[in-house]
A and B are shown apart, each in its own frame.
Chain A
Amino acid sequence: MRPAAGRLGIRATSTASFALLALVVSTLLAVGTYLTARHYLVGQREATATRQAFVDAALLREGLLTAGSSVSDVLDETSPPPGAVVLVDRSGQWYTSSLETGEADVPADVRAAAAQGRASRAWTTLAGGPAVVVGVPVPAVGVAVYEISPTTELQSTLRTLAVVLAAFAAGTTAVGALLGGSASARTLAPLRDVASAAAAIAAGRMTTRLPDTSDPDLAVIVGSFNSMVEALEERMQRDARFAADVAHELRSPVTTLMTSVTVLRSAQGRDPERQRAAADLVDREVRRLHRSLEHLLELGRLDAGVLERDPEPMDLEALVRHTLADTGRAHVGVEVVGPLTPVEGSKPQLHRALVNLLENADRHGGGVEQVLLRSGSGSVEVLVVDRGPGVPDAERSRVFDRFSRIGSRGSTPGTGLGLSLVAETVRAHGGRVWVEETPGGGATFVIGLPAGGDGAEGGS
């Protein structure tokens, strides 16, 4: 989770992206605006200069057509706009309205066009600034009129426009950066909430939850975060309950052992009958303690998702017969219905699961009556049938929970873990286990293993 050195965070990246985007867009807009405006303004200026030149040329023609007037007199009467200069070329003789401007200021191509009797327009430089030159031949009086209009005000307008547009682009970029920064800050705010909630949970305040939100984008995060915390809390509570149950389960045999040893001591040599009774108790409780520990170890292995051995193909019927013979139940009938699909699994673990079912039948069902084997749909089922009181409907899923005790414990209490071990072993094999009613009364515990053993997995 440590940020990589030299890498930008989400906020910096997002701020930079927004700024860059704003910069590009506003620059494009500004340049476009500038070019369009310049094109238009320059066009306007040229048109104005041309119109003015024609007006002045007409004035000159009128003046010169009046008998006796000289070019310089007529030139004085023209009123070019401020800064503009009118030049007249009368067969090589140049007249000008300004002293600083002369023949040399009129570009050659304009003069050439006028000489050929064409009006033309061109750009030139006048007193260091750009200017428009318009040449108009006036053949009626044998002159060519040139008007040079400086465009300094156009240039300054364009400069101002450029500055304004550049400032606008820079401002837009800054606003973009701000927007990017604040938008990402807003986007990241819920992440900060998540982080502080996670820190609170890590500190042990398991009741911490993110507040509900109506924001559909955030609802997903909030929902999954909260359900994660709930799952975590539930898991922790389950573990704590399990630890408490384990402690409770071990306390009983230890109590009996401590008390029996006291009895044993005081009966020593005085009362052999009592001594034997106490010794029997010690014997029984030590075994019970041992079995509890075995079951807890097995449960730990299953919790870790470890199959004791790699699944191997096995003959379920042989396993069942072996288990029955092994536990002194060789007399129990085994019935096989139809051909059995082969299954795979860990023999020692399934053996112990079967033993647990048989012991459960002893303890609560008056002993196993029969074991049935059959092929189900996609599975092979082992049915352990007893004729006891059966399991009430409401308890049928609960019997497989750890330390769930249905009914009284009787004189030989189990560890409270047997059936949960069966369930978890079968689950580790990809199968499932359930209990149903034996037709005519009693309980039938069913182990269903996937046919072909393809469901067997070493762990998840």
Chain B
Amino acid sequence: MSVRLLVLEDDDGIRTSVTMALEDEGYEVTGHPSAEEALRDPSLGEVDLHLVDLMLGGMDGYSFIREVRRRSDVPIIVLSAKGDTHDIVAALEAGADDYVTKPFEIKEVSARLRALRRRPPTRSAEQTADAPDVVVLDAENGPLVLDTGAAVLRRGEEVVHLTVTEYHLLRELAASAGRVLSRQVLLERVWDHGYFGDERIVDVHVRRLRTKVEVTASDPRLVVTVRGLGYRLDPQ
């Protein structure tokens, strides 16, 4: 079954052309000109990835992203002509996973799509050999356990809800536990961004991840910031 995309864009030309271009790449695309219409779409729950414009007539892109986040963890990419820091950070904080500024090459969009669509690799013989499936992140509180085999994070018996991107980020940090990972490295590994990627994406996602894995998000112990270098995961 092909991957289903939702394109929310009020500009007719962009919506039509992006829809066609992504269809050419083998995706199944549904386009909507307004957030209200997209939310009424009965097949919204089956969408695998959202492409969302921020400036829309009526309900704006930020509200739409929050609404989608409330319902699911599927990746969301923002397509925006706004390139200001506060617009981007606001969109990421609303729950977007990545963003592309207009005008863009469709190749760029599909590269981001692929990066976010990348599923956690299934267990291979090699992995079973040198890395355990289960990593205990915090033995005292919970315990907090990352199960890379099942791709879930558990605190005690309970599953901690992570978005796909948050899970990838945590897995990368856990795989290099005790070592500092620069924002650049994380951008490349989690988002497939090249050299000119936006490091704010990493910061916003780390902030969101902390609210889920830390005991006190404002006083992080597990995912710590190493000033000037990046982030490090310290198993407790």
Contacts and interface: CB of A to CB of B under 8 A. Distances in A.
Contacts of A412: 12
Given A258-B105, A260-B20, A408-B57, 15 more contacts: A251-B81, A252-B11, A252-B81, A252-B102, A254-B102, A255-B11, A262-B21, A263-B24, A266-B21, A405-B57, A407-B57, A408-B10, A408-B33, A409-B11, A411-B12
Contacts of B18: 259
A281 B17 CA distance: 8
25 contacts: A252-B11, A252-B14, A254-B102, A255-B14, A256-B11, A258-B103, A258-B105, A258-B106, A259-B18, A259-B106, A262-B24, A263-B24, A266-B21, A278-B20, A281-B16, A284-B13, A288-B13, A407-B57, A408-B10, A408-B34, A408-B57, A409-B57, A410-B12, A412-B12, A413-B12
A277 interface: yes
B132 interface: no
A255 B12 contact: no
Contacts of A274: 20
B82 interface: yes
Contact of A251 (B16, B34, B103, B106): B103
B229 to A, nearest CB: 33
A285 interface: yes
Nearest to B101: A251
A288 B57 CA distance: 19
B164 to A, nearest CB: 25
A3 to B, nearest CB: 46
B17 to A, nearest CB: 4
The contact size tier of chain A is 20 to 34
A258 B17 CA distance: 9
B57 A266 contact: no
A330 B58 CA distance: 36
Given A255-B14, A413-B12, A263 B104 contact: no
A248 interface: yes
A379 B106 CA distance: 54
A262 B20 CA distance: 9
Contacts of B17: 255-256, 259-260, 263, 278, 281
Contacts of A180: none
A306 interface: no
A256 B11 CA distance: 9
A450 interface: no
Name the residue in B11, B58, B82, B105 with the highest tally of chain A Cβ atoms < 10 Å from its Cβ.
B11
Name the residue in B12, B18, B34, B82 with the highest tally of chain A Cβ atoms < 10 Å from its Cβ.
B12
A263 B11 CA distance: 17
Name the residue in A254, A255, A262, A411 with the highest tally of chain B Cβ atoms < 10 Å from its Cβ.
A255
A74 interface: no
A267 interface: yes
Contacts of A285: 13
Given A248-B81, A278-B20, A408-B33, A413 B106 contact: no
Interface in B7-44: 10-14, 16-18, 20-21, 24, 33-34
A412 B58 CA distance: 17
A113 to B, nearest CB: 112
A278 B12 CA distance: 12
B186 to A, nearest CB: 28
Interface string B103-119: 11111000000000000
